[in-house]
A = this chain, B = another copy of it.
């Protein structure tokens, strides 16, 4: 519209990155974790904050979010969706005005556990966050709400898993995100009747009980309904996953 009108605010893109961890720390139970970066400049110097940075010219918003994610974790997102744009005039006290377009992303558990926790990057449990800079605490809570809400009516859980998985693993993802146990029998029926997964015919052996079926996702069904918005595939182009292993490197083995 205008020829060279001065911009009214700085434009930044931040990303809330979710992964699942089942460390010894978490007592074997899977939990939602997320990476934060330590600020090395004022304001909020030394505080933890969401990964992000200024939007570059000629860079799509989703691409900027994925780049941020890659810089922080060395990973590519399995799922990426815009969350909200925060742009109140007085977000940062006394500082230049910044409008933040925030995305949220899911990364695979296998990759996440092998991911580098580079300099000034720390992983935290979503239930036990440190003090966060700016309004990032609110943003993370909103992202968590969206994750939990969307998990109930959508099919984003598989973003945490490998190509093949058991229903118990899928259920574990749901339980970790929702924070409550689910009935295995009803969960099975719900998932199977939704058509979201198909049995591969193979079984996972090496457990000390009956071998569970291995499933894979039904590609013909969309991950999540974003309404009439064009399906934005996460921009995988910029960096490939470090670990190409699609599922946990455990002593477990597969056979038909």
Please give me the residue from chain B that is nearest to A230 by CB atom. B138
Do most interface residues of chain A lie in helix, strand or loop, or is the interface mixed? loop
Interface flags, A1-29, vs B, CB<8A=1, else 0: 11001111111100000000000000000
Contact B10 A7 (CB under 8 A): yes
The segment from A49-57, A106-114, A155-163, A189-197 found at the interface with B is: A49-57
CA distance A149 to B150 in the complex (A): 14
Residues in B neighbouring A61, C-beta threshold 8 A? 85, 87-88, 99
Cβ–Cβ contact A101 & B85, under 8 A: yes
Contacts of A2 in B (CB 8 A): 10, 54
Determine which residue in A2, A55, A138, A227 has the highest number of CB atoms from chain B within 10 A of its CB, and name it.
Answer: A227
Please encode chain A, from 85 to 98, with 1 for each CB lying within 8 Å of some chain B CB and 0 for all others.
10111000000011
List of B residues within 8 angstroms of A41 by Cβ: 1
Task: From the candidates B6, B9, B84, B149, name the one contacting A229 in the complex (CB within 8 A).
Answer: B84
Residues on A lying within 8 angstroms of B by beta carbon are 1-2, 5-12, 41, 53-61, 82, 84-85, 87-89, 97-99, 101, 138, 141-142, 145-146, 149, 227-230
